[in-house]
Amino acid sequence: MPCDEWCRLVERYRSAVNTYNDAVKALGVAPGAAFNDTWQRTERTRTKCDRCRADLLHHEHDHSCLEVGEPNGNQGTSGIDTETLVLGDQGQSGG
């Protein structure tokens, strides 16, 4: 079962992805010299998005809160796919 910290990190990552998406959209409408400022802002949001994702994956690895015990004693996962949960059906998974 995902813990509260995992849920917080997912929400933080989701917010960062949305902010990055908005910044990328702004690149298409930034005129002339403003484009450079918009590009730098986009790169900052991309870096934050990468950091949020790394924090989430690090938590999943270290905390193992997505693992559940199976009747045979083996460990499985809760069936939660973080990338699909956060990104939805945006074609990001390469599928």
Break the chain into its structural domains and give their ranges.
4-85
Q: How far apart are the C-alpha atoms of 14 and 7, rounded to whole Å?
A: 10
Look-up of token digits 């079962």: 1
Q: The tokens of 9 are what?
A: 């990190």
**Strand, helix or coil for residue 79:** coil
Between vectors from CA 87 to CA 77 and to CA 42, what angle results, nearest 5°? Answer: 135
Residues 6+ apart with CB under 8 A from 54: none
Q: Which residue has the tokens 């010299």?
A: 33
Q: pLDDT by residue (tens digit) across 44-53?
A: 999 999 999 9
**Residue pLDDT, tens place only, 21-79:** 999 999 988 888 889 999 999 999 999 999 999 999 999 888 888 765 444 444 455 55
- Which pTM does this prediction carry? 0.68
